[in-house]
Amino acid sequence: MKIGIDLGGTNVDIGAVDDSYRILHSLQFRTADCRTPEELQTIVLDGARKLIAEAGLDGEQIDFIGMGCPGEIDTEKGIALAADNLPIDRIPFAKLLSDAFGAPAKLDNDANCAAWGEHMAGVSKGYRNVVTVTLGTGIGGGIIVDGKLLHGKENHAGEIGHMVIDIHGKRCGCGRIGCWETVASTRALTREVEHQAQYAPNSRLGKLIAANGGRANGKTLFIAMSEEDNMARSIFNDWIRSLEVGMWNIINIFRPDMIVISGGISKEGETLLQPLRAAVGKCSTMIRAGRLGGQAGLIGAAALDELSI
Ligand SMILES: [Zn+2]
C-alpha cells in the first residue's frame, strides 16, 4: 500500500493507494488558514496518521509515501523550499514522513505529480513522450520525455505557462511581457469574458454575468455558447487561437505522443478538445483530456516510487 499526499494552497488531500493505483480511502484537510511551517507540517503528519488509522492500516503495510507540493522543491533531498500561497520555508517533508511512518518517502512538484499520475494510471498510460498542460489561474506543465519526468536544473523545467507568445502583450505575474498564461489560462479567459460583456449587457453572456454578480467563471462562456451567443463564440475562438500558438510551440520542441489537457476546464470535453485538434491539424500528436481529474496529483505522488530520476 502507498500513501499519496497532494498539498495545495487551499487543501491537502491524503489517500491510501493500492498497487493498481486505485484510491481506497482519502481525506481532505484545510491548509488555507495555515500561518507557519510548523502548523502546515502538523496538518500533513496528523492528517496522514488519521488516514492510516481510518483505513485500518498498520505500519508494515505501508511501502511508500509520496507527496506533491507547490513551489520550489529540492527533489533529491525531499525538501519543500518555498511557495507563494503556503508558509513553506525549507520543510524536509520526505524525512519527516519517512521518520513518522517507517517507509521511504519522496517529494516532487505538484504539476509533475499530476502529469506522472496520468502517465502511470490515466489517459497517457503507455506513452513515453507526454506533455500535460494544466489550465487554471495560470498554466502549469509536466513534461515526460522517454518515460521520465523532466526536472531540469533545480527542478525548474516545465514552466510552459511562461513561454512568451506575444512580445507586445500583457505583463505577466513573473515580470515578463506576453507569457502564454496571460492570454490562454482559464483566468485570462474569464477576465476577457467579463471585459467584453460590459459592452453588451443585453447579450446572453452579459445577462449570465449580471446574474452572477458581475463575475464570470470557467463555465459562463460555455453556457452562453451552448445558447448560440455570438460574442461568446468569438471570445472562445480567440482564446483557442492563443492556446493553439502555445500548443504548437510544445509540439515543435518536444513532438510528444500526447498533450494532456487538465484543470477544471478540461471537463468541457469535446467542446474544448475538438477545436484544438483541428488547430494542430495533421500533426500526429494526440490531444486528450486528463482522466483522473482532481485525483491525478494524489495518485502521481503515490506513484513517485516508480520514478527513476
Ligand atoms: Zn510569465
Q: Which tens digit of pLDDT belongs to each residue from 262-280?
A: 988 999 999 999 999 998 8
Tell me the one-letter amino acid at 197. A
Q: Tell me what pLDDT residue 131 has.
A: 98
Nearest alpha-carbon partner for 150 in 126, 131, 135, 127: 131
Looking at domain 2-117+295-306, which of 3.40.630.30, 1.10.1270.20, 3.50.50.60, 3.30.420.40 is its CATH number?
3.30.420.40
CB-based neighbours (< 5 A) of ligand 1, an ion: 162, 172, 174, 179
Tell me the domain boundaries of the chain: 2-117+295-306, 126-290
How many angstroms from the chain centroid is the CA of residue 14? 16
**What distance in angstroms lies between residue 176's CA and the mean position of ligand 1's atoms?**
5
**What distance in angstroms lies between residue 28's CA and the mean position of ligand 1's atoms?**
31
Q: Tell me what pLDDT residue 307 has.
A: 86
**What distance in angstroms lies between residue 167's CA and the mean position of ligand 1's atoms?**
12
**What distance in angstroms lies between residue 179's CA and the mean position of ligand 1's atoms?**
5
Which parts of the chain sit beneath pLDDT 70? 309
Q: Tell me what pLDDT residue 218 has.
A: 83
Task: Give the containing element (helix H, strand E) for 134.
Answer: strand 130-135
Task: Give the containing element (helix H, strand E) for 131.
Answer: strand 130-135
In eight-state DSSP terms, residue 307 is -
Q: Tell me what pLDDT residue 309 has.
A: 54
**What distance in angstroms lies between residue 163's CA and the mean position of ligand 1's atoms?**
7
CA 93/CA 154 separation, integer angstroms: 17
**What distance in angstroms lies between residue 120's CA and the mean position of ligand 1's atoms?**
29
**What distance in angstroms lies between residue 259's CA and the mean position of ligand 1's atoms?**
21
Looking at domain 126-290, which of 3.20.20.150, 2.60.40.10, 3.20.20.140, 3.30.420.40 is its CATH number?
3.30.420.40
